[in-house]
Copies of this chain bind each other. A is one copy, B any other.
Amino acid sequence: MKTISLIAAGLLAMSAAVAQEPPWQALPTVAPAPADNPTTPAKVELGKMLFFDPRFSSTGTVSCFSCHNVMEGGEDHRPTSIGVHGQKGGRNAPTVWNAALLSVLFWDGRAATLEEQAKGPPVNPIEMGMENLRAVIDSIQHIQGYRPYFEKAFGAGDVVTMDNAARAIAAYERTLLTPNSPYDRYVLGDKSALTEQQVRGMKAFVRVGCMTCHQGPLFSGPAMPAGTGNFVRFPSFPQNPYVALYDLLKDKGRFAVTHNPADESVWRVPMLRNLVYTAPYMHNGSVNTLPDAVRVMTAGQIGRNLADNDVDDIVAFLQSLTGEFPQQTMPRLPPTPGELLGP
């Protein structure tokens, strides 16, 4: 009920937006945290260690960082990721930058929070390949050097738990925001921050209809409570040559989670920030360039082909969404106790 009224309100706001000045929103500089996991420096410190530690994968080679490279665009520049034993996943790794501002995680929106999301990849047989979450927390507990960091973040006692590990990783991820893009500076008042072409692209972005789905500070949809996703069918107009060329219907999207036929080819609307860093594009990473991504999206969602100058202008606008990446220091990871290594 609440969800429906929120969506209705969103649609109203949207219609108003298209008619008047669109509600351009700058990136928040702080990510909200759930009431039971306030962000603290001790959690961020621990979470960063866990995020970079490959020892919680079955081969000891894959960490969160492996596919969410925060030295680049927060993903892995591959069509689909490679996990343990050289196995390839089925979907393009979504960026971890600004993911803290999403209301649902994964391409199909199956996780409501960063905390929940963090428990997925370690036990995915293709990604980190651990047998179960018990095995993950066992391996964290075996590295005794982690205990002081858990105690600093969560207090004394039985605190080296999977829930706390996920909370710490989420806390670190909430620091991964990229504010101050040319677009953000523009909407905050610096009218010199965008080029003329980018301003044209911004207007084309509204006129063409991109903003129907791609609104809000991330361009991923209207503000929604955690766990409520902005889901849209893609392609909505499947009668175009890109669908076969890029194999866009093979993966059934959210249907794989809900098994509801209405969810076939339905996806969380992805954000549009820092796209310069995150080629290739689409859920299957099939589209290499930003101009082609714009063409695929307008053909698939609006049912028409754009003029080249509109494509170029919109691409220029999207390039203005590249923010500032906060300087990261590397964590020091505690040693692997030789006593506990397997044969």
Contacts and interface: CB of A to CB of B under 8 A. Distances in A.
Interface of A: 52-55, 59-61, 66, 69-73, 76-78, 82, 84-87, 276-277, 279-281, 288-290, 325, 327-333, 335-339, 341, 343
B85 A341 contact: no
12 contacts: A53-B71, A71-B332, A72-B335, A77-B341, A86-B87, A279-B335, A279-B336, A279-B341, A280-B338, A288-B341, A289-B339, A290-B338
A61 B55 contact: no
A86 B61 CA distance: 10
A62 to B, nearest CB: 9
A55 B73 CA distance: 13
Given A59-B82, A78-B61, A86-B84, A335 B276 contact: yes
B73 A61 contact: no
B333 A289 contact: no
A330 B328 contact: yes
Contact of A330 (B54, B330, B336): B330
A311 to B, nearest CB: 14
Given A60-B78, A86-B84, A341-B288, A70 B330 contact: yes
A25 B76 CA distance: 43
Contacts of A84: 86
B76 A60 contact: yes
Given A328-B329, A329-B329, A335 B73 contact: yes
